[in-house]
Structure 1
Amino acid sequence: MDIPAEKLTRDVIFRIAAKGDAPALAAAYLENREYLAPWEPRRPENFFTVAGQQTVLDDRLRQCAEKRTVPWVLESADGRIVGTTTLSGIVLGPFRSACLGYWIAAGHQGRGLATAAVEAVCRVARETVGLHRIEASTVLDNAGSQRVLAKCGFEHIGTAPRYLAINGTWRDHRLFQRILHDDAPTP
């Protein structure tokens, strides 16, 4: 997909992930491993290596070429990755929906990056991908992510018991959605 990079802040760029991002992604995940653990699935040790990130990245880029996923990175001025955002499970046709996932590095919290990134994803999802809605979920106690979603116009639509295995345990999740538009569907 042809989605241009954009500045989220004066020192962070939001762009589609690239094949050469594996070393920076591995460094970012390793640096934020403990911080992200309460909110993410348990990861095998290989996930935190360049080879592991290259495998994940290659899969996401293949899915992007197939228009099933859009993976972004948030890159600081010094070339470090300080977060990611992903639209996955893209379904077109009459559904026109996808799932949103994102994280921001511990050292970059409180700067509005997550809110800016989610807003950028919503704009691209509507204008470029052609989606009608986006859904997101958070574990029940992830108040920070719930605030981001609320600021970005997502509404709480329910709770899903034992929805995802997070940090080794099946966890209940709050479900959210944002309707991007109510325009008539296009074929």
Structure 2
Amino acid sequence: MIIPPEMLSGGALLRLVSIDDAEALHSAYMANREYLTPWEPRRPDSFFTVEAQAERIGEQLKQFMERRVVPWVFENDGTIIGTATLSGMAFGPFCSAYLGYWVAADQQNRGLASAGVASVCHAARDIIGLHRIEATTLLDNAPSQRVLEKNGFELIGMAPRYLHINGEWRDHRLFQRILHDGPPSS
């Protein structure tokens, strides 16, 4: 599967992650560690190493080759400023995936997340052949909910204690976007 990079309206490039990104991704996570803490699972200190990022990228690229994950990075002037991932990809009658993304604290309110999600949705429909994407947010994550709504995601429910985030099971809003109503891709 070939997914070309895309220049986003917010000025960043959205491209597939590369094994060469381990150091830059490590730097991005270190710079945003405190900012991301309320929104992500607790991470061991070992996560915040170049070696762990290289291992993680290697696993993501393996899963990409197996058509289970698509891992992107947001890049601006050679610096990684966020990620977007389609995971849990399923084909056949389900033809769906889960979307996750983040943009660096110092890059907020530039439209990058909205532009990145739009690009991911385009690739999911036109290149990967998915029918549907699901995304979740914490109940109080209004900025992420706005990004999803701007990109045609609809609220489909609330899941109590859905994910273990920052040390506790947290309720999440569930969103989905139907990409097309054609037959499933193979």
TM range (shorter): over 0.9
- One-letter amino acid matched to 1:112: G
Q: Which residue of 1 aligns with 2:102?
A: 103
Aligned to 1:163: 162
1:55 to partner: Cα distance:
1.2
Structure 2 segments unaligned to the other structure (5+ residues) = none
Cα distance in structure 2, aligned partners of 1:185 and 1:145: 29
Is the contact made by 2:163 and 2:171 (CA closer than 8 Å) also made in structure 1? yes
3-state SS of paired residue (1:9):
coil
Residue aligning to 1:72: 72
Are 1:36 and 2:36 matched, yes or no? yes
1:1-187 counterparts in 2 under 5 A? 1-9=1-9, 11-77=11-77, 79-187=78-186
Amino acid at match of 1:66: E
1:94–1:105 distance in 2 versus 1, CA, 3 Å: same
Q: CA, structure 1 residues 125+186, in 2 after alignment: closer, same or farther (shift >3 Å)?
A: closer
1:182: Cα distance to partner?
Answer: 1.1
The Cα of 1:46 is off from its aligned counterpart by 1.1
Which whole-Å CA distance do the structure 1 matches of 2:110 and 2:172 have between them?
Answer: 25
Where does the alignment leave 5 or more consecutive residues of structure 1 unmatched?
A: none
Post-superposition Cα deviations, 1:18-57, rounded to whole Å, max 9, x if no partner, equal 0100000000000000000000000010111101111111
- Give the residue type in structure 2 aligned to 1:30: M
Q: What per-residue deviation string (whole Å, max 9, x for no partner) do you get for residues 110-153 of structure 1?
A: 00000000000000000111100000000100000000000000
* Aligned-partner Cα distance in 2 for 1:133–1:163: 20
In 1, the alpha carbon distance for the partners of 2:6 and 2:158 equals 34
Structure with more relative contact order (C-alpha pairs < 8 Å, separation 6 or more): 2
**3-state secondary structure, aligned to 1:32:** helix
CA shift for structure 1 position 185: 3.3
Measure how far apart 1:186 and its partner are.
4.6
Q: CA 1:186–1:103 in 2, change beyond 3 Å: closer, same or farther?
A: closer
Q: Deviations over 1:74-108 (max 9, x none)?
A: 0101x110010000000000100000000000000
| Deviation per residue, 1:132-175 (Å, 9 max, x gap) | 00000001000000000000000000000100000011000000
Percentage of identical aligned residues: 61
Q: CA RMSD in A?
A: 1.0
The question of whether the paired residues in 1 share the 8 Å contact of 2:68 and 2:89 is answered with yes
Alpha-carbon distance, 1:10 to partner:
6.5
Query: What secondary structure does 2:2 align onto?
Result: coil
Flag as ranges the 4+ runs of structure 1 deviating above 2 A: 184-187
Question: How many residues matched?
Answer: 186
1:11 CA drift (Å) = 3.7
TM-score w.r.t. length of structure 1: 0.97
